[in-house]
Structure 1
């Protein structure tokens, strides 16, 4: 693949780091759900950000099946309708893989704008399944969460790509 001008050549992603970051995002989601605010409608889903990030950057390692499994874990943790988050995460993973080649050609702020509809779609799917199963409408702040997740995209890009940006053996004779 031809790289954008000025884009840094990255090292291969470590599979252990990918799984550690996904499990860490799952644990942070669980801690936020039982923390100070509880499960507020406006709280961002950090696992969604990590899943979309790795589905875009490593589509052969993190796919729809992984998204489905993490979705089931979130359903069990939140006591939600089994499959509610699994459906949303699966659709999210599919569309992230679908657009990953195009998305990587843009800069990080533009990527954040382009993943916003994905995050919005995931929250709408969860909301529709919740309402169809007889749940209550959580309020309009539920539509604030995708915007917060899109705002977290640059932070996730910096943090999750940091191990790949270091030079393997830096020296003065090798500029890469």
Structure 2
């Protein structure tokens, strides 16, 4: 596990860039509604792995590009990521004490919290909030978490090792 080893900031940025591209790839309408939040999963992974170098402030900064790309209210995603990252930092010891498959159950509330903050801000700013499928990315992200975390950890071990 690379949780206690320093990884290069370049690796973190590269992983974030790849996950941002995956987030922006066009998908058909039905698949697009359930697209896993690759960028958010990557931010939460690095927050859990490197909390001293990549904490809630870095997570907030990572939300700004999503706001710019989606045209959402400024810092909507930043605030949601910072709150979710704070929860991950506080529960990271518990998170890494479980196998990856069980971590998905612990990450589901984090992804739901992220989506709830977006839901709340959209409602406060008068955007449409009646879509039930807006919660699907949280579920698909939790299901995909074990695979995504395994992949990112192997990439980081390759760089550190």
TM over 0.5: yes
1:53 match: secondary structure: helix
The separation in 2 between residues aligned to 1:42 and 1:36, in whole angstroms, is 10
| TM-score, scaled relative to structure 2 | 0.87
Q: Which runs of 5+ in 1 are unaligned?
A: 1-7, 169-176
Higher helix share: 2
The structure that has the greater radius of gyration is 1
Q: Check conservation: 1:95, 1:118, Cα contact below 8 A.
A: yes
Matches within 5 A, 1:28-107: 28-29=22-23, 31-32=24-25, 35-37=26-28, 40-107=32-99
Q: 1:114 aligns with which of 94, 100, 106?
A: 106
The separation in 1 between residues aligned to 2:78 and 2:3, in whole angstroms, is 31
Q: Check conservation: 2:67, 2:76, Cα contact below 8 A.
A: yes
Q: CA deviation at 1:43?
A: 2.4
| TM-score, scaled relative to structure 1 | 0.80
Other-structure match for 2:11: 17
Q: Check conservation: 1:64, 1:94, Cα contact below 8 A.
A: yes
Deviates more, 1:143-152 or 1:36-45: 36-45
1:62 match: secondary structure: coil
The separation in 1 between residues aligned to 2:81 and 2:28, in whole angstroms, is 23
Q: Which runs of 5+ in 2 are unaligned?
A: none
Given the superposition, is the C-alpha separation of residues 124 and 58 from structure 1 closer, same or farther in structure 2, using an over 3 Å criterion?
same
Given the superposition, is the C-alpha separation of residues 130 and 11 from structure 1 closer, same or farther in structure 2, using an over 3 Å criterion?
closer
Q: CA deviation at 1:107?
A: 0.6
